[in-house]
Amino acid sequence: MKRYTEVVNWGSAYAALARRFAARPAVSTPNGEHDFSDVIGRAAAVAAVLRARGLESGSPVATVLPNRAHAVWGSIGI
């Protein structure tokens, strides 16, 4: 089995999506829609908190979230 050592810069990839589709809906909930800019911004905030707590790329992180909008930005942020 081949091991990959390259790191994917997901932050840059998601930032490009946020720029390209900023105002378009990304997540719909019974309470309204969240556009790409909002979802990616919240995901970046999750990532920043994890980094501030000392987690590094590749660190294991578990979540238990209901199937709601915050599960989306939590997953992307992790």
Per-residue pLDDT tens digits for 12-24: 898 998 899 999 9
Q: What is the pLDDT of residue 56?
A: 86
* Full-model pTM: 0.82
More confidently predicted of 3 and 11? 11
Q: Is 20 exposed, middle or buried (0-12, 13-18, 19+ CB in 10 A)?
A: exposed
More confidently predicted of 34 and 4? 34
- pLDDT averaged over the chain? 89
More confidently predicted of 60 and 57? 60
pLDDT per residue as tens digits for the range 25-41: 999 988 899 999 999 99
Instruction: Give the separation between CA 50 and CA 67, rounded to whole angstroms.
Output: 21
